[in-house]
Structure 1
């Protein structure tokens, strides 16, 4: 059974949701029969390359927050990340165009190292002092993931390389009704939105596995975490009582 995951490197709930999904998958009895495919989604496809905005400034502008409130929002997401064993920096992070990252992820897919590059990009963006919006950092991450440096540089220099693949997957997400990420589609029959708890993913996998005759994409109800999603260039601000 295939699970497709639409996500963006700029989305902290995608970072958290990936860890939670993997825990949920580990608890699923048929986990060895699951194929996981990562798909492209830009939170802000209109963001021009080379323009980088501090995350705190982005949150403040999107939600009308004070700098203190923006920092609190980041701390809340950080607490969720750390509860999953993930490192998370709350200061000094930037936001920008992720189009080149997605293009490199498609290159990595052709070489079987997409998952490795995705993990390294997440860690660089959320846990380390490395900006994924710097082309040289992208080259370094791609090489660390196992790609050839010359090929990586050729792809980055050619703005058309894998561009259609990225846009095709983004159109696909829109056709499926996704307006934010992370967005999980199980066997093209169940949809899960947001960084849900691990047990929700296990439940969704079990539902999809047991109901093979369903042909309509159905949402998995998990109202407690509906806000744990990123959309329109920013992420929903978690409430103070949001659970980890």
Structure 2
């Protein structure tokens, strides 16, 4: 059974959703028969390479919030991440183009190291004092994930390398109706949008396994926290309804 996950390294709910899905997968009796493939989705595809800014500043400017309100949004996401055992820095993180990261993830897929690189990219972006929008950092992370240093440098130096693969993933997401990430597709039969609780993923895995020969595509699970194609992310606010930020 194949599980495809559309996500972006800049999306905090993709980071959290990956951990929740992996928790469900770890308890799935047929986990050794599940192939997980990560697919590309850019939240800010129009941003130029090198055009970076602080996440708190971006949130404040984009949504008309004060810096204090933007920090509050980040604190709420951090609480969700920490509940899953994940590190999350609320200050000092950069926001920028993730296109080169997705290109490297396709290289990593071709070399059998995709999940390793994605895990390192998430950790560096959300938990560590490393900017994933720096080519030198990206090259180091790729080598840590098991990729060849020279091949990594060649891919980073060639904007066209694996570009078609990234765009192909994004077109396929649109064809499937995915307008927010993370978006999980189980055996091309079931779709799950957002960073659902682990229990929802566990139920979906069981159902998809049971219905492997059943044709058609079904959306399962209710609304969950996600980042939309417009870059907006669902962030739960303390003592208030959820709102798009």
**Partner residue, 1:37:** 37
CA distance in 2, matches of 1:5, 1:221: 15
Q: How many residues align?
A: 240
Structure 2 runs not aligned, ≥5 long: none
Q: CA deviation at 1:216?
A: 2.5
Deviations 1:111-139 (A, max 9, x none): 11111111111110000000000111101
Q: CA deviation at 1:180?
A: 1.1
**Partner residue, 2:7:** 7
**Partner residue, 1:230:** 227
Q: Secondary structure at the residue paired with 1:56?
A: helix
Deviations 1:42-88 (A, max 9, x none): 11111111100211122223322221111111111101111111111
Is 1:149 the counterpart of 2:146 in the alignment? Answer: no
CA distance in 2, matches of 1:240, 1:218: 32
Deviations 1:193-237 (A, max 9, x none): 1111100100111111122344322111223xx2x1012224223
Aligned pairs (5 A) from 1:175-190: 175-190=175-190
Q: CA deviation at 1:5?
A: 0.3
Note if contact 1:59-1:234 (Cα within 8 Å) is conserved in structure 2: no
Note if contact 1:182-1:195 (Cα within 8 Å) is conserved in structure 2: yes
**Partner residue, 1:198:** 198
CA distance in 2, matches of 1:65, 1:204: 37
TM-score for the superposition, normalised by structure 1: 0.94
CA distance in 1, matches of 2:111, 2:155: 14
Structure 1 runs not aligned, ≥5 long: none
Structure 1 runs, 4 residues or longer, greater than 3 Å off: none
TM-score for the superposition, normalised by structure 2: 0.94
Q: Secondary structure at the residue paired with 2:180?
A: coil
CA distance in 2, matches of 1:181, 1:42: 9
CA distance in 1, matches of 2:192, 2:63: 25
The two structures, once aligned, show a CA RMSD in angstroms of 1.5
Aligned pairs (5 A) from 1:43-192: 43-192=43-192
